[in-house]
Amino acid sequence: MHEMSLAEGVLQLVEDTARRENARRVKLVVLEIGRMSSVEPAALSFCFEAVTNGSIAQGAKLEIVDVPGAGWCMLCAETVPMSERYGACPKCGSYQVQATGGTDMRLKEIEIE
């Protein structure tokens, strides 16, 4: 389960930010997770709760923003929605589609006090 190592990485970023800002506690963490990122949001949420236990982020709410997949179809010459990496273009059926969005995970916001 790579979500555990991802949750640990998020916690490290959160702790670094909290330390830099002299925060007493972290209240909210907002993550953007792309549908084609190979990250399971429910598993990441479970792992986040486990790794934050005993940290400055213990009890922080984790908000996950779903980012839809997108790709550039070379035959249609336009951006099209995608539900899987290496999938066919929903307009023309071509597999000459390069993913352009929804493939990553990003720490978007941290609320501290």
The pLDDT score that the predictor gives to residue 1 is 59
HSE-CB at 82 with a 13 A cutoff on CA atoms is 29
Identity (one letter) of the amino acid at 97? V
Residues in the chain predicted with pLDDT less than 70, given as ranges, are: 1
Number of domains in the chain: 1
Round to whole Å and give the CA distance between 113 and 103: 32
CB neighbours of residue 1 within 10 Å: 11
For the domain that residue 50 is a member of, what is the CATH number? 3.30.2320.80
pLDDT at position 10 is: 98
This prediction's pTM: 0.88
Q: 64 lies in which domain range?
A: 3-112
Segment holding 6, helix H or strand E = helix 3-20
DSSP 8-state secondary structure symbol assigned to residue 101: E
